[in-house]
Amino acid sequence: MKTTETVRANPSPAVSERMKRKADSIACTYGAELFTLGWIAGLLSAFSGYAVPACLIGAAAAAVWLVTARLRKRSMRYLLIAAGLLLGAAVWQGYDCRIRQPLLALDGTSQVCTGTVTRVHQLTGGRMQYTLNTKLIGHRVTIDWYADAKTPQQQVGDAVTLKADLTRIQPDYRYHTAAYQAGMGRYLRIYKADLLDSQPETGFSLRRIVLAYREHMTAAIRTTLSPDDAGLLCAMLFGDKTLLSEETVLGLNRTGIGHIAVVSGLHLVLFCTVIGWLLKRVSCPAKIAFLLQIIAIMLFMLLVDGSVSVLRAACMVLLARSAPLFGRHSDTLRALCLAAIGCTLFTPYVIGSVSFWLSVSGVLGIGVIAPYMTKHLKCSAFCRTFLQLCCVAVTVFPASVLLCGESSLLTPVCNLLILPVCTAALYLGFAFLLTGGLLSFLLPAAGILCRFARMLTQFAAELPFSHLTVNAPAMRDILVLCTGILALLAICRAKPKTLGIAAACAAVMLMLEHLLLLYLAEDQLKIALLGGKQTGALVISTAHQTVVCDLTDTPRNAQYVQRFLRDAGVTHADALLLQSDRSAAAYQSELTGVTCGAVLLRADSHLHDGTTVFGKTPLQNVSGEVTFRCGDAEIIADGSGLRIIWHGMSVTAAEALPEQERTCTAAIRYGKEGFAVTLNRRRDDAAPIRFSENNLLLTLTKDGLGSLEPLT
């Protein structure tokens, strides 16, 4: 009699045939998923600059398949992954060589281009921003044209011909504009152009009709509701966040329900649910109802200026609704994979879009991971729903932290308590929208729900530990490692208990590293050098205390400081040393969600008696030398600049530092050319570090070692 080991080592023909059929069925059943896995990996590798390693890995996997095809039919799955990896890398490289690089080469050149206006946005000072659909170097592209107040105003659908000076979109630390625009395939802008010809559209324009309808509905909402309530309702209906206050946006993001203000799959599903219910009430046949829903989805995408998440959701909804018509069962994972391929096949730049990753990870969590993890749980419906929301939060967490720098820790609770309120307001808004405003009496109720939602989000956002900010490279590396391990376990179809234990271990590891970094930060002095050319501000932090010092009295500095404090997770500044009352007004306007201990104004301001800044009465006309502390660091400010003394080391910041450059630990010069930093380390064999660039982070340790790194 053969032993079990012998049977496994030398299976009988019948056993081999069953193994072959099982392997073939796995490759066939999950073929689309395996190919998509390789496809996304190939696109992401090429996008990150690792196209060659990706191609080598794909070629190696294909070679393994060729060698082992006769031995193990299970290797078919490796071929699918390898094919996706190679094709994904090839598609991105082709796009980069044929379109992206030639477009970037047009920076600084003057081109005559003819295009159609697809979007109009009014800026301050009478300036207008037009989005043009035009051709450059033979490729259809979308580009923004910033026209001055003297240029004749254009309307959506107008055909214009410009002699334009093309400018590359430069990275801006304040807004991360370049990365956001690159995720939409935009690399150039037009700031200066001569309008050669303009032909207004006189024929039928569906886009213009839909946008006019949207403007009419928006005006009705703004007339009926208060500005804050109208802003939230318009954001939920149309994805237009221009009417939202910064405080509301911050509260939504820090409670994990920011997706409600960005038109995504949730909105499209609710919209299609309403349309489907109406069609069912009139006994519309299934196939005709499906065709009408396609038309409704296309109109909806025009109405909300369809983003990547809306396109992905449209593909998934159409796949799910069409499955019963063809006698098939809808599968969320396969629909998601097909939608991901559809979104990136002809527009591979979407792989760098934050919206794409948050949308995909959210659907993966709520449609695949959450049902799998809670399938066999025996608990109440409320508990099951909460656990499913926790699974969604864990799935979205890596994308949120890696791409946005922070993630809410209250996402499951807030989605369970606040999201239903927002959904009810959204249903009322859809009813008003679909009836052309006939149900306007529903708007006050929608406004009350929006106000209640805003109150809840603001309360939750102010709770301690409402969100987690991650900006340390070590934390990001560990997060990528943990995400890779969890993804591998999920691909191998590990048991829910195993996945849960692995996720808990990953959370503990991340928390321990976070605590370790907080402990190490107590022995460091960090100075952020922020601003653009000819402007500058310093953010000094040590021992969990923060002081902001504005050096050049430029209101725009507040935007840089606000970005840094948000990325660093700082919500309290112990002191603000500003130059004048106009700087104080700018900081109070920009630093939403930040409290302040004291405000010092160097110049004699024109503030009225009783005027407060951050709720504090500012100390004005601080023209002489003033000394204050930031943790264990002493900051001395006078008319010539700043001196920071910390554990026997000194850092000097001034417009001219010829003598102190060699004597102090770090010398910071600012002026018309921006920042110039010289870092002298204590070791005799260590040469000084010199850096001439704005938006830097200077870090000093108690042993005298220091580092300079650019902020991104």
Predicted confidence (pLDDT) per residue in 141-181, tens digit: 889 999 888 888 888 888 899 999 999 998 888 888 888 88
Q: In this structure, what are the phi and psi dihedrals at residue 608, rounded to the nearest 5 degrees?
A: -70, 160
Of 461, 454, 432, give the one whose Cα is nearest residue 238.
432
Confidence grade of residue 75 (pLDDT, cut at 50, 70, 90): low
Q: In this structure, what are the phi and psi dihedrals at residue 150, rounded to the nearest 5 degrees?
A: -80, -15
Q: What is the rounded CA–CA span in Å between residue 639 and residue 659?
A: 17
Q: How many Cβ atoms from other residues are within 10 Å of residue 5's Cβ?
A: 8
From the number of C-beta atoms within 10 Å of its C-beta (0-12, 13-18, 19+), residue 399 rates as buried
Q: What is the rounded CA–CA span in Å between residue 349 and residue 188?
A: 14
Q: Which residue has the tokens 């704005």?
A: 694
pLDDT at 13 over 80: no
Report the pLDDT value the prediction gives residue 505, as an integer from 0 to 100.
92
- Chain-centre distance of CA 642, in angstroms? 36
Q: What is the DSSP string of 582-626?
A: HHHHHHHHH-TT-EES-EEESS---PPTT--BTTB--B----S-E
Contacts for 533 with CB less than 8 Å, ≥ 6 apart:
672, 673, 674, 694
- The predicted-structure confidence for 545-595, as pLDDT tens digits, reads as follows 899 998 888 888 899 999 898 888 888 898 888 888 788 888 888 888 788
Confidence grade of residue 99 (pLDDT, cut at 50, 70, 90): very high
Question: What integer best gives the mean pLDDT of the chain?
Answer: 81
Report the pLDDT value the prediction gives residue 632, as an integer from 0 to 100.
85
- The predicted-structure confidence for 588-607, as pLDDT tens digits, reads as follows 888 887 888 888 887 666 66
Give per-residue burial for 50-78: e unless 16+ CB within 10 Å, then b.
Answer: ebeebbebbeebbeebeeeeeeebebbbb
Q: What is the rounded CA–CA span in Å between residue 670 and residue 699?
A: 18
Pairing of strands 626-630, 666-669: unpaired
pLDDT at 19 over 70: no
The answer to whether residues 488 and 498 touch, using CB atoms and an 8 Å cutoff, is no
Report the pLDDT value the prediction gives residue 144, as an integer from 0 to 100.
92
Q: How many CA atoms lie within 13 A of 688 on its CB side?
A: 14
Of 454, 688, 711, give the one whose Cα is nearest residue 566.
711
Q: Please report, rounded to a whole number, the percentage of residues in the chain having pLDDT higher than 90.
A: 9
Query: Measured between alpha carbons, how far is residue 557 from residues 570, 576, 658, 695, 709 in Å?
Result: 17, 13, 26, 11, 20
Q: What is the rounded CA–CA span in Å between residue 325 and residue 285?
A: 11
The answer to whether residues 527 and 711 touch, using CB atoms and an 8 Å cutoff, is no
pLDDT at 270 over 80: no
Write down the H helix ranges in 462-580. Answer: 473-491, 496-521, 557-568
Q: What is the rounded CA–CA span in Å between residue 218 and residue 237?
A: 9
Report the pLDDT value the prediction gives residue 190, as an integer from 0 to 100.
92
Q: What is the rounded CA–CA span in Å between residue 154 and residue 212?
A: 14
pTM score over 0.85: no
Report the pLDDT value the prediction gives residue 21, as an integer from 0 to 100.
46
Q: What is the mean pLDDT of the segment spanning 188-192?
A: 92
Q: In this structure, what are the phi and psi dihedrals at residue 237, rounded to the nearest 5 degrees?
A: -80, -45
- The predicted-structure confidence for 486-497, as pLDDT tens digits, reads as follows 888 888 888 888
Q: Length of the chain in residues, anyone?
A: 712
Report the pLDDT value the prediction gives residue 364, as an integer from 0 to 100.
87
Q: What is the mean pLDDT of the segment spanning 603-631?
A: 73
Q: What is the rounded CA–CA span in Å between residue 373 and residue 503?
A: 12
Q: What is the rounded CA–CA span in Å between residue 19 and residue 17?
A: 5
Pairing of strands 599-601, 626-630: unpaired
Does the domain spanning 106-203 belong to CATH 2.40.50? yes
The answer to whether residues 486 and 479 touch, using CB atoms and an 8 Å cutoff, is no
Q: Please report, rounded to a whole number, the percentage of residues in the chain having pLDDT higher than 70.
A: 86
Report the pLDDT value the prediction gives residue 265, as an integer from 0 to 100.
67
The answer to whether residues 231 and 249 touch, using CB atoms and an 8 Å cutoff, is no
Pairing of strands 575-578, 599-601: parallel
- Chain-centre distance of CA 554, in angstroms? 28
The answer to whether residues 542 and 528 touch, using CB atoms and an 8 Å cutoff, is no
Report the pLDDT value the prediction gives residue 607, as an integer from 0 to 100.
64
Q: What is the rounded CA–CA span in Å between residue 413 and residue 299?
A: 34
Query: Sign of dihedral through CA atoms 124, 127, 133, 135?
Result: negative
For the CA atoms of 138, 141, 144, 145, the dihedral, rounded to the nearest 10 degrees, stands at 20
Of 397, 564, 426, 557, give the one whose Cα is nearest residue 486.
397
Q: Which helix (H) or strand (E) holds 537?
A: strand 537-542
Q: In this structure, what are the phi and psi dihedrals at residue 657, rounded to the nearest 5 degrees?
A: -140, 60
Of 482, 397, 472, 367, give the one whose Cα is nearest residue 699.
472
Query: Sign of dihedral through CA atoms 574, 577, 580, 585?
Result: negative
Q: What is the rounded CA–CA span in Å between residue 379 and residue 291?
A: 40
Q: What is the rounded CA–CA span in Å between residue 447 and residue 445?
A: 5
Tokens of 692: 């001439």
Report the pLDDT value the prediction gives residue 501, as an integer from 0 to 100.
92
Q: What is the rounded CA–CA span in Å between residue 331 and residue 320?
A: 7
Write down the H helix ranges in 199-243. Answer: 206-224, 227-238
Report the pLDDT value the prediction gives residue 656, as an integer from 0 to 100.
74
Confidence grade of residue 327 (pLDDT, cut at 50, 70, 90): low
Most trustworthy range by pLDDT among 4-8, 181-185, 287-291:
181-185
Q: What is the mean pLDDT of the segment spanning 13-42?
A: 63
Domain ranges of the chain: 14-103, 106-203, 209-467, 475-521, 524-710
| Proportion of the chain in helix, strand, coil states, percent, rounded to 5 | 55, 20, 30
Q: What is the rounded CA–CA span in Å between residue 707 and residue 251?
A: 34
From the number of C-beta atoms within 10 Å of its C-beta (0-12, 13-18, 19+), residue 135 rates as exposed
Instruction: Give SS3 for 710.
Output: strand
